[in-house]
């Protein structure tokens, strides 16, 4: 009997992988990896390791979840060390719970290796703390996308009135509905909102507005998935704390200098 590791790869910046997560990549005989992991992490795999792509796009699944579960079980039963490499954290909207259930049902030994979830990391890279003593004493992770044909059972009134900061995953396609529901259930239309596109990657893009304005801003800027939506007064701190743009500028300037040096 082999063993499975459900590993959170973090939000994108390869430096944010945990030490244990990296070790699971290095020791794996088989790696089942998602679309949103940074491919640089696969360079740490053994040359003999089998790399299996399980990526999912909105409204299109390369591999069904049931198939992924079956692969985890099948490879482990062959005596393989299997690492399931997932973007962010495996138990935060990563279906890691479903995969762990499949492994437990089949008697496969497994471990969960937490990863940094984008609800915290993308906002941090945008200069937005999800909690702050002056602005936010509570925050919630919310999915902006439901299972196919599933009725919306999100408790919008509780989120609008009872939580200071919302980190909404997979919600770009439903952004008008999300803003409408929050305002309908008591959230002030002037509440600051940010969308962080490709959070923690070199090409990260952040746009800000309010519940009243963010839909038009996102349409104008053509912001798509993957993006994290942050709602709350803490978003206003971004203007003082936007540290990552400085690094991006330095990287761009270095690239230009290298180009000039090479060209001339």
Can you give the pLDDT of all 264 residues of the chain as single tens digits?
A: 899 999 999 999 999 999 999 999 999 999 999 998 999 999 999 999 999 999 765 555 668 999 999 999 999 999 999 999 999 999 999 999 999 999 999 999 999 999 999 999 999 999 999 999 999 999 999 999 765 556 678 999 999 999 999 999 999 999 999 999 999 999 999 999 999 999 999 999 999 999 999 999 999 999 999 999 999 999 999 999 999 998 887 777 666 555 445 544
Q: Does one domain contain both 147 and 204?
A: yes
What is the length of the chain? 264
Of the residues 94, 116, 138, the one at which a domain ends: 116
Q: What domain range includes position 195?
A: 119-244
Q: How many domains does the chain have?
A: 2
Q: What is the sign of the dihedral through the CA atoms of 96, 91, 163 and 207?
A: negative
Residues 126 and 238 in one domain: yes
Alpha carbon distances (Å) from 13 to 68, 130, 185 = 25, 19, 36
Q: How far, rounded to the nearest angstrom, does the alpha carbon of residue 198 sit from its chain's CA centroid?
A: 9
Q: Which of 138, 125, 120 is nearest to 232 (CA)?
A: 138
Q: What are the catalytic residues?
A: 34, 56, 170
Beta-strand pair 30-33/50-53: parallel
What one-character DSSP code corresponds to residue 146? P
Backbone angles phi, psi at 241, to 5 degrees: -115, 15
pTM score, two decimals?
0.89
Sign of the torsion formed by the C-alpha atoms of 185, 188, 191 and 194: positive
On whether both 46 and 88 belong to a single domain, the answer is yes
């Amino acid at each position: 009997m082999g063993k499975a590791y459900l590993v959170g790869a973090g939000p994108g910046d390869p430096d944010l992988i945990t030490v244990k997560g990296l070790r699971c990549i290095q020791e794996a005989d088989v790696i089942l990896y998602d679309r949103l992991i940074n491919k640089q992490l696969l360079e740490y795999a053994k040359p003999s390791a089998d790399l299996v792509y399980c990526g999912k796009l909105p409204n299109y699944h390369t591999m069904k979840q049931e198939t992924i579960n079956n692969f985890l079980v099948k490879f482990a039963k062959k005596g393989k060390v299997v690492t399931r490499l997932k973007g962010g954290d495996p138990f935060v909207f990563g279906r890691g719970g479903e995969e762990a259930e499949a492994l437990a049902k089949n008697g496969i030994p497994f471990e969960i290796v937490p990863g940094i979830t984008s609800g915290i990391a993308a906002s941090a890279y945008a200069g937005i703390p999800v909690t702050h003593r002056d602005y936010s004493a509570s925050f919630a992770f919310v999915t902006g996308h439901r299972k196919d044909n599933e009725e919306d059972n999100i408790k919008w009134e509780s989120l609008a009135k009872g939580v200071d900061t919302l980190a909404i995953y997979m919600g770009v396609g439903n952004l008008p509905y999300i803003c409408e529901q929050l305002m309908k259930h008591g959230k002030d239309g002037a509440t600051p909102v940010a969308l962080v596109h490709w959070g923690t990657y070199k090409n990260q893009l952040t746009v800000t507005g309010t519940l009243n304005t963010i839909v038009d801003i996102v349409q104008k800027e053509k912001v798509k998935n993957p993006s994290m939506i942050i709602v709350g007064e803490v978003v206003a701190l971004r203007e003082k704390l936007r540290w990552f743009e400085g690094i991006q500028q330095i990287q761009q300037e270095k690239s230009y200098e290298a180009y000039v040096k090479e060209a001339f």
